[in-house]
Amino acid sequence: MRLCCQKVAQRANREDGGSKGPFWKGRFHATVIEDLDYLLGCCLYVDLNAVQAAMAQGIDDYDYTSAKIRLDMIRSKQKAKEDEQAPAANQPLGENETVPIESSPKESASQAQENTQDKDRKKKAPMSISNLSKGEFMSLVKLETASNDPQLHTDGYRCSDKGFLDYTVEEYLDALRWCIKNKLFRADATIPEDVPECLKNHSLGPELVLQQAREFGEMYRYRAGCKPNPDAQRDSSDELTRGQSPS
pLDDT in tens, 102-148: 444 444 555 656 566 555 544 444 434 444 567 888 889 998 776 77
Instruction: Give residue 247's pLDDT.
Output: 39
Measure the CA–CA gap between 36 and 58, rounded to whole angstroms.
26
Q: Is 246 a domain residue? A: no
Give the other-Cβ count within 10 Å of 244's Cβ. Answer: 7
**Contacts with 122 (C-beta within 8 Å, 6 or more apart), sequence order:** none
Of 80, 163, 130, nearest in space to 72 by CA: 80
Please provide the size of the chain in residues: 247
Domain span at residue 140?
A: 35-80+133-228
Give the other-Cβ count within 10 Å of 187's Cβ. Answer: 8
Q: Is 245 a domain residue? A: no
Give Cα separations from 65 to 50, 60, 86 (angstroms). Answer: 8, 10, 32
Q: Do 51 and 74 fall within a single domain?
A: yes
- H/E element holding 140? none
Instruction: Give residue 146's pLDDT.
Output: 66
Q: Do 173 and 222 fall within a single domain?
A: yes
Mark the ranges of the chain whose per-residue pLDDT is less than 70. Answer: 27-28, 87-133, 146, 226-247
Instruction: Give residue 126's pLDDT.
Output: 43
Number of domains in the chain: 2
Q: Do 26 and 143 fall within a single domain?
A: no
Helices 39-47 and 206-219, axial angle in degrees (round to 10)? 70
Q: Is 114 a domain residue? A: no
Q: Do 182 and 224 fall within a single domain?
A: yes
SS3 3: helix
Q: Do 163 and 44 fall within a single domain?
A: yes
Q: Do 26 and 40 fall within a single domain?
A: no
Q: Do 153 and 172 fall within a single domain?
A: yes
